[in-house]
Amino acid sequence: MQKPQNEMKLIFKSLSINEGFARVAVSAFAAQKDMTIEELNDIKTAVSEAVTNSIVHGYKNSIGDIYITCGIYNNNTIRIKIRDKGCGIEDIEKAMEPMYSSLGGDRAGLGFSVMECFTDRLKVSSKPGKGTTVILEKKVSIKC
């Protein structure tokens, strides 16, 4: 991937109140690229899923930092990297299966499915004990 036209980075604590902050901050930055409201909402939704996973699963009952990098590229692509230094994922393939959740309660196990559904590319890398990185890419159209 070439260098981004523009890029921003965010670091914030894994508090659930920051879920709303993170998705709004990323979408406010991404919005400088012309795109439809639908596309912007797709980005918001996918970011919310990844950030929530870092909070709920990555850091579980502890608090750590979440790192977001959002790049805007010439080929009308928005690329968002969401990283935590939490517990990591043992089996990524299994984790990404629809309806799989390691937590009970009200988790549907559909976060990764939602990310896939609303972006053009989803890449997950993780090391148990080290943390998880999710990369989301969204191609956006030029608004007429």
Q: Which residues are annotated as catalytic?
A: 49, 53, 107
Residue written as token pair 């969204």? 138
Residues from 16 through 75 that contact ligand ATP (CB under 6 A): 49, 53-54, 56-58
Residues that bind other proteins (CB under 8 A): 16-17, 19-20, 23, 37-38, 41, 44-45, 48-49, 52, 55-56, 98-99, 105-108, 110-111, 113-114, 117
**Among 74, 82, 70, residue whose Cα is nearest residue 30:** 70
Spatial contact of 100 and 90, defined as CB atoms under 8 Å apart: no
The neighbouring-strand residues paired with 11 are 67
Contacts of 60 (CB under 8 A, 6+ apart): 86, 87
Residues 97-116 that bind ligand ATP (CB under 6 A): 100-103, 107-112
Which positions touch ligand ATP (CB under 6 A)?
Answer: 49, 53-54, 56-58, 84, 86-89, 95, 100-103, 107-112, 132
